[in-house]
Amino acid sequence: MKRIVILTTVAMAVAPAAQAQSFLEGLARRAVEGAADRAASALERSLTGGGESDAGRSGDAAPEEADAPAVMRPRARSGAGQPAARPGAAEEAAAPAAAPSTGPSPWPNNLGSARVRRPGQLTFDASLEAEKTAFREFGMVSCDDCEGGYSFDTAAKLFLNLRDMWAFDTALGALEVGQSLTWRGRASTGRITVVDAAPVGSFQCKQLRWELTRGQQTATRPGLVCLGKSNPDADNERWLEVF
C-alpha cells in the first residue's frame, strides 16, 4: 500500500490531470487484482493445510483408540446360563434308593415295603414256598408210635433237642459261613449249612442250605435267618428263622 501512495504522489506531480487520473485507475485495478490473487492463494493454502491437518488428526486417532482401556463387562453370577433345576429334583435326590428286587436265595418279595419293620414280616414268592413244602414232604416218614401215623425228618429242632423257645433260631444265627448243624431222623440224615451272610435290606441275615438225604436221594431247599425283633414290644433283637 505504501508503494501505491508513493507512486500516486509522483504521478500527480509530473503528469497532467487526465493522465494522472488514468494512471491512478490502472494502479487501483492492479492492486485489486493482486489482492484478489493473494486472497485466493491464501484460501487455497488454508484448504490444503486443513485437509492435511484432518488427515493427521485421523491418523493420530488410531493409536489413541488402540490404547484405550477395554470395556469391563460384569462377570456372570455363578450358575448363570445354566438350565433351571427341574421341579422335584431335590426331593428325588434326597429320596432313599429303592430296595433291590433280587439277591441271594431265598429273597423276599416285599422288601422295601413301609410295612416291613421286622424280619418276621418278610414274605416270599409262591415258588419258594412250594419248594419248602416239597422238601418237607420228602422227609415224611410213616410210623406206628407217631401222632397221626407219620413224622417229618425235616423237624431239625426236635432231633437236635433244641425245643426251647428261640433255641433253634439262636443256634442257626451262631453259625459262621461254611459251618453246619447235622441230625439223624427216622429214615434220613439232615444238614443245615450257612452258605452266605448277605444283608437283606436293613436286616443282618444269613442264607442257609437245607439238605435231607434218604438212601440215594437228596432234597434241598434254601433257608434264611435274620437278626431283629420278634414282635413290636420286644426289648432286644435276636436271631430269627425267617424261611
Q: pLDDT tens digits, residue range 106-160?
A: 999 999 999 999 999 999 999 999 999 999 999 999 998 888 899 999 999 999 9
> Is the confidence at residue 37, as pLDDT, over 90?
no
User: Taking a C-beta distance cutoff of 8 angstroms, is the pair 197, 207 a contact?
Assistant: yes
pLDDT, residue 3, reads: 46
Pick the range with the lowest mean pLDDT from 9-13, 45-49, 209-213, 229-233. Answer: 9-13
pTM of this structure: 0.60
> Is the confidence at residue 11, as pLDDT, over 60?
no
Domain boundaries, the chain: 1-39, 109-241
SS3 content of the chain, % helix, strand, coil (to 5): 40, 20, 40
Sole residue written with cell 434254601: 222
Q: pLDDT tens digits, residue range 211-226?
A: 999 999 999 999 999 9
Helix or strand or coil: residue 15? coil
> Is the confidence at residue 85, as pLDDT, over 70?
no
180-184 vs 189-196, strand pairing mode = antiparallel
Q: Work out the pLDDT band at 4, boundaries 50, 70, 90.
A: very low
Sole residue written with cell 491512478: 24
pLDDT, residue 145, reads: 87
pLDDT, residue 56, reads: 42
Sole residue written with cell 438212601: 215
User: Grid coordinates standing for 57?
Assistant: 488428526
